[in-house]
Chain A
Amino acid sequence: MSTLVLAEHDNAELKDATLAAVTAAGQLGGDVHVLVAGAGCGAVAEAAAKVAGVAKVLVADDAAYGAALPENVAPLVAGLMGGYDAFVAPATSRGKNIAPRVAAALDVAQISEILSVEGPDTFTRPIYAGNAIATVKSSDTKKVITVRGTAFAKAATSGGSAAVEAVAAAGASDKASFVGAELTKSARPELTAAKIIVSGGRALGSSEKFHEYIDPLADKLGAAVGASRAAVDAGYAPNDYQVGQTGKIVAPELYVAVGISGAIQHLAGMKDSKIIVAINKDEEAPIFQVADVGLVGDLFTVVPELAGKL
């Protein structure tokens, strides 16, 4: 039994999502190898080699993999799978883009966003936006799996001393090309990696108020900023702020929900947070049913006061 894990990275840094995937892969039993496909990604491969539990790092360093186009990465992975029993990718936008294409090439079903490994072929995963948890058993000889990062502990980033081996590039498709990216620049921590998150909802009322009230509290706490889908749809916050079933799934140590009513789809994205604080003027808001500490009050007076007293 051996498993190939797709590394999540930006050609410079290995991302934390990889570490949860390594843990999940380890639970399948057998050797865990990590594939770093990128362009100029040597530093990422070195970081991956130090991750505890990784036996070998494969590096495909080629211009074709710079933007992680699935048309190029999936054939590379499929070509390597002869030597592996399972392929594990983080359930990031990149992992979700690539893994099913690998599964199709191998003619196997994919098991998406697993929450736990119950056995070498049995896994739990959320369905209906996390309102039910299915235990599924795969009959395929090779497994293709994506891993929900918040459901697994992160493997340690030191202690490993894996061999790094270069693998040949598998060619570049002429059907797709990368044009450009607009990444949200922020001095704050990344939403999915943050220990503390302050999220704002539709009650903020405008983009200006969203920043005026949420940002100082987040700055005070050293927190990432999130938003409900309602706030994003209303244009108060950019779409990559969205926490929820169709946005980011987060599980920080502390989640502060400000002016968020707690729609099912939002709760699905944050209910695994360790401590949830809710501030809402409607005492009947569903968010209070999951909050550890709730404060019924007007956010426009409560939030600045809280920022001042922390």
Chain B
Amino acid sequence: MKVLVPVKRVVDYNVKVRVKSDQTGVELANIKMSMNPFDEIAVEEAIRLKEKGVATEVVVVSIGVQQCTETLRTALAMGADRGILVQTDVTTESLAVAKVLARIAEEEQPGLIILGKQAIDDDANQTGQMLAGLLGWAQGTFASKVDPQGDTVAVTREIDGGLETVALKLPAIVTTDLRLNEPRYASLPNIMKAKSKPIANKTPADYGVDMTPRLTTVKVTEPAKRQAGIKVKSVDELVAKLKEMGAVA
């Protein structure tokens, strides 16, 4: 079974983003970019399936600017087999990305597509579900356990109030939650080896997909700042303050 893993290049999760003063977006110049953390978990899961002998090949795809090649190389260094770069400078919205991925899925015929549940830049949490809808496949979102058994996969999902398990017929879509696994670091020899792994260069036009965004960003602003309050010195003072504020009876 082939496993397809889409990966997105985003602002590194350790960077404190700053809104641009002209309100057109957030500052991206000279900012560290990395693979979306949920996508790293997806790559790791796919590689583990290959190590268990369940997956035969792990193909990674990135849709975006030329530098997404670096993101693909990171995935290849972790252990993916080959990459596909779909290059576009247009803002990538979930629906258009899902359409490109649907066409790639038709070409590649994977048994499983594993995606991060959301990207930490636009926080949309849509692509996996949209892709499942476009392909008419079953979906197991927010997965904390993925257990392929023959022609089905059991997915344990993190839901409000606990966990639930669904059984999906393959091919299927899985989106990863935080506790699915802990992604590995690529070793130096594997980073060197990744440089010779193949990456195919494509464009959205190759897949006949119109990337024109459906949403216009009118402006981007800072969230309302919360004022720091007071510090109290003792529990008695804290209790008195809470009573004064009407927070407790």
Contacts and interface: CB of A to CB of B under 8 A. Distances in A.
B97 to A, nearest CB: 11
B129 A179 contact: no
Nearest to A71: B138
A161 interface: no
Contacts of B159: 93-94, 181, 240
Interface in A284-309: 288-296, 302, 305-306, 309
Interface in B102-140: 120-134, 136-139
Nearest to A108: B214
B17 A131 contact: yes
A296 B160 CA distance: 33
Interface stretch (A55-63, A96-104, A202-210): A96-104
B215 interface: yes
B95 A128 contact: no
A292 B245 contact: yes
A101 B136 CA distance: 10
A187 B247 CA distance: 22
B160 A92 contact: yes
Nearest to A221: B248
Nearest to B161: A183
Contact of A181 (B19, B164, B214, B217): B164
Interface in A85-118: 92-94, 96-105, 107-113
B192 interface: no
B209 interface: no
B247 A275 contact: yes
Listed residue (A100, A135, A173, A309) with the most chain B CB atoms within 10 angstroms of its CB: A100
A305 B237 CA distance: 12
A127 B232 contact: no
Nearest to B127: A100
Interface string B25-64: 0100000000000000000000000000000000000000
A85 to B, nearest CB: 15
Contact of B11 (A128, A277, A305): A128
Interface in A108-148: 108-113, 122, 125-140
Contact of B139 (A70, A94, A239): A70
Given A104-B95, A184-B162, A294 B230 contact: yes
Nearest to B212: A139
B123 A113 contact: yes
A112 to B, nearest CB: 5
B233 to A, nearest CB: 8
Contacts of B94: 100, 109-110
B90 interface: no
A158 interface: no
A40 B120 CA distance: 38
Given A104-B95, A305-B235, A112 B223 contact: no
A176 B169 contact: yes
A177 B167 contact: yes
Looking at chain B's contact residues, the main secondary structure is mixed
A257 B223 CA distance: 21
Nearest to B216: A137
Interface stretch (A28-36, A43-51, A164-172, A246-254): A246-254
A108 B95 contact: yes
Nearest to B222: A132
A180 interface: yes
Most A Cβ at <10 Å: residue of B164, B219, B222, B239: B164
Nearest to B221: A133
Contacts of B129: 70, 96-101, 104
Contacts of B242: 254, 275, 277, 293, 310
A288 B124 CA distance: 30
Contact of B230 (A240, A254, A293): A293
A131 B17 CA distance: 7
Contacts of B138: 71, 173, 175-176
B167 A179 contact: yes
B22 interface: no
A264 interface: yes
Interface string B152-192: 00100111111111111100100001110000000000000
Contacts of A277: 238, 242, 247
Contacts of B179: 233, 239
B167 A134 contact: no
A110 B154 contact: no
A101 B125 CA distance: 11
A192 interface: yes
A110 B124 contact: yes
Given A179-B166, A310-B239, 15 more contacts: A97-B141, A112-B123, A127-B26, A135-B220, A135-B221, A136-B215, A175-B138, A177-B166, A239-B144, A290-B226, A290-B228, A292-B245, A293-B229, A294-B231, A309-B236
Interface of A: 67, 69-71, 74, 92-94, 96-105, 107-113, 122, 125-140, 173-184, 190, 192, 221, 229, 233, 238-240, 245-246, 248, 253-254, 264, 271, 275-277, 283, 288-296, 302, 305-306, 309-310
| 8 interchain residue pairs of minimum CB distance | A104-B133, A100-B129, A292-B229, A109-B214, A176-B138, A101-B133, A100-B126, A104-B130
